[in-house]
Amino acid sequence: MKRVITMILAVLMLMSALPMSALAATKYTVYISSTGSGTLNLRSGPGKDYDVKGYVSHGDRVTLLDEEDEWSEVRTASGRTGWIKTKYIDGTTRSLGSGYKYVKTNGGSINLRTGAGTGYGVKGSVANGAKVKVLNTEDNWARVTVQSSGATGWIMAKYLSDTAPGGGSSSSEGGSAVSGGAQQVYRVTSSTLNVRAGAGTGYALRATLYAGRAFRVLGSSGNWFRISTLTGNITGWVSKTYTAAGATATVTAGSLNMRASASSSGRYIKSLPYGARVNVLSVTGNWARVTHGGNTGYVSMSYLRF
């Protein structure tokens, strides 16, 4: 008996020496993204091929249990567990606010770590200007998902900002820039369209877009648009000749609220059913201004497929 008590005491002493983050693992209270409407599938594993075992609603408070790639395992208030896409999680912090932020540094990149502290391993880096989504916070650290890559990890909260570096005041490559707020959406009308490093055919080729691809207009110079794809992974200049205003997208939520302003508190106009086709006119943050059935309003970009 004496030996058993000694072993128990030894285990307790070892646990007391561990940091709280190690004991808590990755169990955080978070929220299902409230920037849309309807429900999300709760799956039996980390992927779309797994069975649907239930649903969670936008705004639900859940406990984060585990992560794998771009998926997170959660437990609902009723005790049901399952997996959802990490991008549909909002943070618990109210000082930073949940949702999308920008990384703002002195121009370099910062480390993306496996935990909330410099003692944790580095799993990648995040560039200045990168758009991220805040999932939760711990002390002076924020757990984020990088929009362009889907990578999730921890960065110091002091590098987060509500605005992108430079504030969109001008283009580093010349031409006029679109100021903050709504950005017009255009689409490619030719079979292919080259994206270049500057406003002219003499600039280096960065990428090629294909017919129907949607993009945001950031600025212009003569017959050239400075653009960014909706995912933000391609930026550069394209010829206006082979573009047209507006793009078509499909609703992916069971139902999606259309609102009078770019906010979840905006006046309700109507609900769009799954599979509805909308014409996207512009984007403001994570909201798209769309037309459907004679109505014009705003819907969450998270539940549109282009």
pLDDT digits (tens, 9 = 90+) for 243-273: 999 999 999 988 899 999 888 888 999 999 9
User: Of 208, 226, 245, which residue constitutes the final position of a domain?
Assistant: 245
Q: Do 214 and 253 reside in the same domain of the chain?
A: no
b/e code 218-252 from CB counts within 10 Å (16+ = b): bbbbeebbbbbbbeeebbbbbbeebbeeebebebe
User: Of 215, 245, 275, which residue constitutes the final position of a domain?
Assistant: 245
User: Could you tell me the CATH number of the domain that includes residue 137?
Assistant: 2.30.30.40
Q: Do 255 and 219 reside in the same domain of the chain?
A: no
pLDDT tens profile 21-50: 333 344 667 777 644 445 778 899 988 888
Q: Is residue 6 part of a domain?
A: no
Q: Is residue 8 part of a domain?
A: no
Q: Do 156 and 120 reside in the same domain of the chain?
A: yes
Q: Is residue 16 part of a domain?
A: no
Helices (H), 91-155: none
pLDDT tens profile 148-195: 667 788 898 888 887 776 543 333 334 444 434 578 899 999 999 999
Q: Is residue 236 part of a domain?
A: yes
CA atoms within 13 A on the CB side of 44: 5
pLDDT tens profile 206-241: 899 999 999 988 888 888 888 988 877 788 889 999
Q: Is residue 12 part of a domain?
A: no
Q: Is residue 186 part of a domain?
A: yes
Domain that holds residue 291: 248-305
Q: Do 260 and 216 reside in the same domain of the chain?
A: no
Q: Is residue 277 part of a domain?
A: yes
The mean of the pLDDT values for the chain is: 78
Q: Do 224 and 268 reside in the same domain of the chain?
A: no
Q: Do 182 and 213 reside in the same domain of the chain?
A: yes
Domains held by the chain: number: 4
Q: Do 229 and 252 reside in the same domain of the chain?
A: no
User: Of 161, 194, 212, which residue constitutes the final position of a domain?
Assistant: 161
Q: Do 218 and 275 reside in the same domain of the chain?
A: no
Paired tokens of 266? 């905006």
Q: Is residue 119 part of a domain?
A: yes
Measure Cα distances from 159 to 4, 56, 130, 147, 220 in Å. Answer: 49, 32, 11, 16, 30
Q: Do 70 and 109 reside in the same domain of the chain?
A: no
